[in-house]
Amino acid sequence: MAKLNPIALTLTILCLLVSTHDVHAARHGPPSAAVEDDICGGKEKVVKLHFYVQDLRIGHVNATVFEVAKASITPTNPFAFGSVHVLDDLLTEGPAYNSRALGRTQGLTTNADLSAFGIAMNLNFYFYAGRFNGSQLSILGRNQVTDAARELPVVGGTGAFRYARGYAIQTTYSMDPVSSYAVLEYTIYTTYNSKFNSEIDDEIETAEM
């Protein structure tokens, strides 16, 4: 990489800070060099993911989003405070519905702001095709949907995304209120384990409990 990547640089610094902290925190001696290498040294990389989510809302003939709960205030609050939705949206490579299917976006969204459309997001991106087939990435955060671009934290994952951290930018690619069909665009910068499936976990020490 000839170009200096500020995100990679920041993550490298974070990584070093975490490693140093771990060494000081360990009461039974520092972790072996192998452990630090597994998490940070060359195996953890940053990747930019870009995909679309097909949001077929209530009212769409093939809806994949449903309201599961509401509060006494929901019908009278202008921002539908307390409304909780569960979703299982198709995740695609391109914006078209029949674009290559990469996985599902599953989780809960809650209208959690009394005076704005501020949505508490709890989403799992479950990939069943492509480079990250079998891995999951989780995001959690506040989504003010009236903003043009919304930033959400990546809080973890499974498979290649074990220990993942990063952020997602969500924008609305298209929205058709008549058919209740929205397409959401996601750009995610996240760490991942570039040596996933290479038996590295065998080297990690077991802690005394």
Q: Which residues contact ligand NAG (rule: CB under 6 A)?
A: 61-62, 128-129, 133-134
Q: Return the number of the residue (19 or 158) whose C-beta is nearest ligand NAG.
A: 158
For residues 201 and 205, what is the distance between their CA atoms, to the nearest angstrom? 9
Q: Minimum Å distance from CB 130 to ligand NAG?
A: 7
Q: Minimum Å distance from CB 23 to ligand NAG?
A: 37
Q: Return the number of the residue (10 or 128) whose C-beta is nearest ligand NAG.
A: 128
Q: Return the number of the residue (9 or 129) whose C-beta is nearest ligand NAG.
A: 129
Q: What does the angle CA 85 – CA 91 – CA 97 come to, to the nearest 5 degrees?
A: 100
Q: What is the 3-state secondary structure (H, E, C) of the chain?
A: CCCCCHHHHHHHHHHHHHHHHHHHHCCCCCCCHHHHHHHCCCCEEEEEEEEEEEEECECECCCCEEEEECCCCCCCCCCCCCCEEEEEEEEECCCCCCCCEEEEEEEEEEECCCCCCEEEEEEEEEECCCCCCCCEEEEEEEEECCCCEEEEEEEEEEHHHCCCCEEEEEEEEEEECCCCEEEEEEEEEEEEECCCCCCHHHHCCCCCC
Q: Minimum Å distance from CB 128 to ligand NAG?
A: 6
For residues 76 and 202, what is the distance between their CA atoms, to the nearest angstrom? 56
Q: Minimum Å distance from CB 166 to ligand NAG?
A: 23
Q: Return the number of the residue (97 or 167) whose C-beta is nearest ligand NAG.
A: 97
Q: Return the number of the residue (61 or 148) whose C-beta is nearest ligand NAG.
A: 61
Q: Return the number of the residue (61 or 207) whose C-beta is nearest ligand NAG.
A: 61
Q: Minimum Å distance from CB 148 to ligand NAG?
A: 27
Q: Minimum Å distance from CB 159 to ligand NAG?
A: 10
